[in-house]
Chain A
Amino acid sequence: MERMSRPLVRLLGQGVRAATKLRGGGSAFPGLVMEKLHPGFVSEQLARLPHGVVVVSGTNGKTTTTKMAVQLLESQGLKVFTNRTGSNFVRGVAAALLQEISLTGRFDADIAVLELDEAHAVHFVKEVQPRFALLLNVMRDQLDRFGEIDTTRRMLSKVAAATTEAVILNREDPRIASLAEDVRPGTEVLWYGLSPQLRPMFPSDDDMRGADGPAAPTPEGGSAPEAVVELTDFKATDVDFLVRGKPEKAKVHLYGVYNVYNAAAALALSMTVTDDGRDAPAAQAGIPSLLGELSAVTPAFGRGETITVDGAPLQLLLVKNPAGFRLSLASARPEAYATMIAINDEYADGRDVSWLWDVEFESLRSGGVDLVTGTRAWDMALRLDYDQVPVRDVEPELTEALRKFIASAEGRPMRVFCTYTAMLALRRALRSVAVVPEI
């Protein structure tokens, strides 16, 4: 097809968007039409960005980490394009681009920071070479989609190999650390990591069961490589980092220990991006303002977000793999909360619910669980029964379950652990009883 002029692309994009609104379609639809009409649209637009493209990928924490990185980079005066809708593949990126262009009449950004899931990232990097990549972790998440953890690692190795300037890796995840071997000559490998004292708090899936999992990676057989940012300690919202070897303090208002570690990842990425010609004193000067900005980051949708219902806080916690669920459980004293667990098995949740058997629920034994819900409510109730956790009620239908749960909480703060589509449905249902922010 002949290439279209930009005003035509824009008009067309607006028309497609209007049509999408009418049919109530998903956010990726206009992007799909755009890619059909004008292949290469996304790569052409992204190629114009003066600071290039950053890809954030990995199993867990992409959304929160991307959100943090965007905010940190904006605090340094960069105009950042990102795929906020969570529709995180090429079409989703195209849709976000169209929206940007049709709102402002032009694509006006310095840099793109894109959250891409592993499978989509592989397709994306065939069309667009990222300048930077931040690769977080490889966990047992939606194995039924990607087949095997080793397959997921191979997908991420394609992203590492396509990146032109620097790849930032999680030093403590053996599968991520091994990606250093796949980086092309001339592209820098940088690390973020944990102090030795903190490592036991962040189990990988390899050491979920059985005492000794694989040892922390020490590439080249020597000691661990130095990290740009190392998380050394945290207590409540106070966080200690080693930033290029120098102790620094920050505040992080995010829920769960994983998000504190993701803050280290976002910080390492932001330092790398803003640090033209590394080690320059000018870049060092940016660190205090980046650390200051970290405290202003609020949780992304569903990642520990708190909604007030009848004056009591209700916290929504997204769970999708054993390590994440276990850490969410460990992050507060269960007896102090009313607890509901919502497990769906739609495609976006993962159809396979086997992973629930690799979460230990003993911590819920003394307080019990008020309600289990979702399409796989009975699987969850069965799982809890085998861990001898009392379950007070099972109600597969989510809206009805939410109503019962709020009534039974009687003013106690509430925690709801939920899979992805269960969370979407619960947020919708909560609209009738509380103020729920738009995603």
Chain B
Amino acid sequence: MTTTTPTFPTAPEDGVPAVDAVEPGGRGEIHLVQLYPRDMNIYGDWGNTLTLKRRLEKRGYAVQLTDYNPGDSFPADADLFVGGGGQDSGQFRVMEDLQKIKPVMYELVADGVPMLAICGLYQLFGHEFRTIGGEVLPGIGIFDLTTVGGETRLIGNIVTESEKFGTIIGYENHSGLTRLADGQQPLGRVVSGDGNDGEDGTEGAVTNEVIGTYLHGSLLPKNPVLADHLIATAVRRRYSHETLEPLNDTLSQKAREVARNRPR
């Protein structure tokens, strides 16, 4: 295979679109919070945080980045939340802490604050996780769904199709089987892969501006449409800014083309 190499950004400043010369941070500040990075960050979740941060900065927003771990004082003024997957052991600590912050989380969700919850955190945003051994771990019920422990892990490259966001491409790795209640909107429909439970063809969930999904991989770098939706929601709430300048996403497009054709 020979490849002609397209031109793409090589210097830090490139990739900033032909936007009016906004000073760095000139548009204002966005408070981005990583939920439980100490216990839940095993699948390249930093990639999601970094993507949000850089894409905000390129649009002229300063980013205040806060790590929220169990027991910390809760940053209730946050504009945008992102959280990832964890080991079983980490999930217990997080579960207890989530119960404490549940009331304020409910307010934020009702208020339209954008959040992205992946894997372990996605499960805990549902009603409960029932392990194979019959143990029940309570979630906080932002999503109308429940998860049961499965015998085998659902692992591999996955492609889904979302009405709102188009084709979403990532990697899934979970043993929990998630069942959506009637009326719970999924994030997408599975094109190839397993998704929520490997059977009903749905993947993820959306409630208000909260997106839950099993796709990591990392999700946002390869799905800039999703990243920009979260960002647009945040800047609209905070500053009533209605437009986001497009960025050069050539590399992301190339990586997507490859990923969607890789073996499971």
Chain A, residue nearest B43 (CB): A354
- Chain A, 350-396, CB within 8 A of any chain B CB: 351-358, 368, 375-379, 381-383, 385-388, 390-396
Mark each residue of chain B from 224 to 263: 1 if its CB lies under 8 Å from any CB of chain A, else 0: 0000000000000000000000000001101101110011
Structural contact, A147 and B175, CB atoms closer than 8 A: yes
Contact A392 B171 (CB under 8 A): no
Asked if residues B43 and A143 are in contact (CB atoms below 8 Å), the reply is yes
Ranked 6 nearest A-B pairs via Cβ: A357-B47, A354-B44, A357-B44, A378-B254, A378-B255, A388-B12
A346 to chain B, nearest CB (A): 9
The residue from B10, B67, B173 contacting A391, defined by CB atoms under 8 A apart: B10
A357 touches B9 (CB 8 A): no
| Partner among A148, A385, A387, A396 whose Cβ is within 8 Å of the Cβ of B88 | A148
Interface pair B37/A396, CB less than 8 Å apart: no
Q: How far is the CB of A59 from chain B (nearest CB, A)?
A: 13
Task: State A375–B261 Cα separation when bound (angstroms).
Answer: 11
Q: With an 8 A cutoff between CB atoms, is A144 at the interface?
A: yes
- B5 to chain A: which residues have CB within 8 Å? 393-395
**CA–CA, A150 and B120, complex, Å:** 14
**Are B217 and A354 in contact, CB atoms less than 8 angstroms apart?**
yes
In this assembly, does A210 line the interface, its C-beta being within 8 Å of a C-beta of chain B?
yes
Chain A residues with CB below 8 A from B171, complex form: 144, 351-354
CA A185 – CA B2 in complex, angstroms?
61
Q: Inside 8 A of B10's CB, which chain A residues have their CB?
A: 368, 390-392
For the complex, give the distance between the alpha carbons of A345 and B261 in Å.
Answer: 12
Within 8 A of A (CB), among B149-168: 153, 155-157
Number of A interface residues at 8 Å Cβ cutoff, please give it.
Answer: 43
Report the minimum CB–CB distance from A238 to chain B (whole Å). 36
With A354-B47, A358-B46, A375-B262: A210-B255 Cβ-Cβ less than 8 Å: no
Among residues 389 to 415 in chain A, which have CB atoms less than 8 Å away from a CB atom of chain B?
Answer: 390-397, 400
Residues of A within 8 A of B100 (CB): none
Known contacts A209-B41, A375-B258, A382-B254; 19 further A-B pairs (Cβ under 8 A):
A143-B42, A147-B153, A147-B155, A147-B173, A148-B87, A150-B87, A210-B69, A353-B217, A354-B47, A354-B171, A354-B217, A355-B44, A357-B45, A378-B258, A379-B255, A379-B259, A383-B47, A396-B3, A400-B2
Partner of A351, one of B12, B88, B156: B156
B40-65 near A? 1/0 per residue, CB < 8 Å: 01111111001100100000000000
Whether the pair A386, B54 counts as a contact (CB closer than 8 A) is: yes
Q: A322's closest neighbor in chain B, by CB?
A: B44
Residues in chain B near residue A358, CB distance under 8 A? 41, 44, 46-47
Complex Cα–Cα for A379 and B219 (A): 12
Distance in angstroms between the alpha carbons of A400 and B217 in the assembled complex: 27
CA distance A354 to B222 in the complex (A): 11
Q: How far apart sit A336 and B44, CA to CA, in the bound complex (Å)?
A: 29
Contact B42–A386 (Cβ < 8 Å): no
9 A-B interface contacts by CB (under 8 A): A144-B156, A144-B171, A147-B155, A377-B258, A378-B255, A381-B255, A382-B252, A394-B8, A395-B3
A210 touches B173 (CB 8 A): no
A427 within 8 A of B: no
Closest B residue by C-beta to A352 = B171
Report the interface size for chain B: residues with CB under 8 A from the other chain: 49
Q: How far is the CB of A181 from chain B (nearest CB, A)?
A: 15
Q: Does A149 contact B (CB under 8 A)?
A: yes
Q: For the complex, is A320 an interface residue (Cβ under 8 Å from B)?
A: no
Residues of B within 8 A of A (CB): 1-3, 5, 8-12, 15, 37-38, 41-47, 50-51, 54, 67, 69, 87-89, 153, 155-157, 171, 173, 175, 216-218, 221-222, 251-252, 254-255, 257-259, 262-264
A140 within 8 A of partner (CB): yes
Q: Is the CB of B258 within 8 A of A351?
A: no
A356 to B44, CA, bound (A): 7
A143-B43, A345-B262 in contact; A386/B50 too (CB < 8 A)?
A: yes
Please, which residues of chain B bring their CB within 8 A of the CB of A354?
Answer: 43-44, 47, 171, 216-218
For B264, what are the chain A residues with a Cβ–Cβ distance below 8 Å?
A: 351
Q: Is the CB of B87 within 8 A of A209?
A: no
Residue on A nearest B253 in the bound complex, by CB:
A378
Contacts of A378 in B (CB 8 A): 251, 254-255, 257-258
Q: What A residues does B216 contact at CB under 8 A?
A: 354
Which residue of chain B is the closest to A394 with respect to CB atoms? Answer: B5
Interface pair A386/B11, CB less than 8 Å apart: no
B254's nearest neighbour on chain A, judged by CB, is: A378
B54 touches A143 (CB 8 A): no
Interchain CA distance A356-B218 in the complex, whole Å: 9
C-alpha gap A362/B70 in the complex (Å): 29
Known A-B contacts A209-B41, A345-B262, A352-B171; A357 and B67 likewise in contact (beta carbons under 8 Å): no
Chain B residues with CB below 8 A from A392, complex form: 10
Q: Could you say which residues of chain B place their CB within 8 Å of the CB of A396?
A: 1, 3, 258
| Residue numbers in B under 8 Å from A150 (CB-CB) | 87-89
Contact status A357-B50, CB under 8 Å: yes
Q: What CA separation (Å) do A383 and B222 show in the bound complex?
A: 10
Contact indicator A381/B8 (Cβ below 8 Å): yes
The smallest beta-carbon distance between B238 and chain A, in angstroms, is: 23
Q: Which residues of B contact A379 (CB under 8 A)?
A: 222, 255, 258-259
Closest to B53 in A: A386
Q: How far is the CB of A375 from chain B (nearest CB, A)?
A: 7
Contacts of B37 in A (CB 8 A): 209-210
Q: How close is A367's CB to chain B, nearest CB, in angstroms? A: 13
Measured between alpha carbons, how far is A386 from B46 in the docked complex, in Å?
Answer: 11
**Nearest CB in chain A to that of B36: its residue:** A210
Contact A351 B89 (CB under 8 A): no
CA distance A379 to B255 in the complex (A): 5
Q: Are A386 and B157 in contact (CB under 8 A)?
A: no
| Closest B residue to A206 using CB positions | B38
Distance in angstroms between the alpha carbons of A437 and B232 in the assembled complex? 55
Which chain B residues border A394 with CB–CB below 8 Å?
3, 5, 8, 254
